[in-house]
Amino acid sequence: MDGIVSIPKRTLERLPVYYRVLTQCLAEGMEYISSGELGEKAGFDNAQVRKDLNHIWSGGRPGLGYEIIKLAECLGDFLGLNNSTDAVLAGAGRLGTALAGYPGFGEYGLNIVAVFDSDPEKIGGYVAGIPILPAAKLPDLIRRLGVRLGIITVPGEAAQEVADAMIAAGIRAIWNFTPVRLQVPKDVLVRNEDLAASLATLSYYLRQHSLTKEGGPACGGAAAESS
């Protein structure tokens, strides 16, 4: 593909799901897949699949569908999954060490080169073979290695300071696992993963499901309408 293709954010979020399904299909020995089959496996309707893939691919064959290996390669190239992306992670707590040790990131081209922390007892150790370095060294390593992706799992009160240091050193995309909404320049992309908010949403759903069975909402309130 030549140049940069601009696509809607929602579409961009669905593309990795299609890629995961396609790699699973390849492992099962499949050669072709229709938009309907891909949508069923990915959890989207076939019209949505066709609309999303039309942004980057026009190689579907009538009667056969998409050639899986070529579509997977196209998606991998478009998403940058076929090339290794170096990242740094700030915060060697339980969540940070779990992310650093997660083997599945390698399948998506993510390579965490270093973990940073301010706790002297953690500095000098390793997480899944990745060194834990002093937080003060974070800017220098980012500049020296040309890293552009930062992952933040520090306590909330330190999140903005860490983000500022990352951005000043050259980071242009941040994966934020803190509850803080970071203030960043317009040319820096932030992906927020608010685990507490996600848990609250799931808990709310479970409570509403329970109340429906029991005959009504609690506290005199009305049950939320679906959207």
Q: Is the pTM of this model over 0.85?
A: no
Fold of domain 9-79: Arc Repressor Mutant, subunit A (1.10.10)
Range with the lowest mean pLDDT among 31-35, 42-46, 80-84, 136-140? Answer: 80-84
Q: What is the mean pLDDT of the chain?
A: 88
Summarised one tens digit per residue, pLDDT across range 6-38 is 788 889 889 999 999 999 999 899 999 999 999
Cα(215)–Cα(37) distance, integer angstroms: 39
Summarised one tens digit per residue, pLDDT across range 61-103 is 777 889 999 999 999 888 887 778 899 999 999 999 999 999 9
Residue boundaries of the structural domains of the chain: 9-79, 86-196
Fold match flag (9-79 vs 86-196): no
User: What is the architecture of the domain spanning 86-196?
Assistant: 3-Layer(aba) Sandwich (3.40)
Cα(26)–Cα(68) distance, integer angstroms: 7
Query: CB burial class (10 A; 0-12, 13-18, 19+) of residue 209?
Result: exposed
**Looking at residue 214, what is its pLDDT?**
67
**Looking at residue 5, what is its pLDDT?**
58
**Looking at residue 166, what is its pLDDT?**
98
Summarised one tens digit per residue, pLDDT across range 165-223 is 999 999 999 999 999 999 999 999 999 998 888 888 888 888 887 777 766 555 544 44
**Looking at residue 224, what is its pLDDT?**
47
Q: Measured over all CA atoms, what is the biggest interatomic distance in the chain, rounded to whole angstroms?
A: 62
Cα(147)–Cα(111) distance, integer angstroms: 10
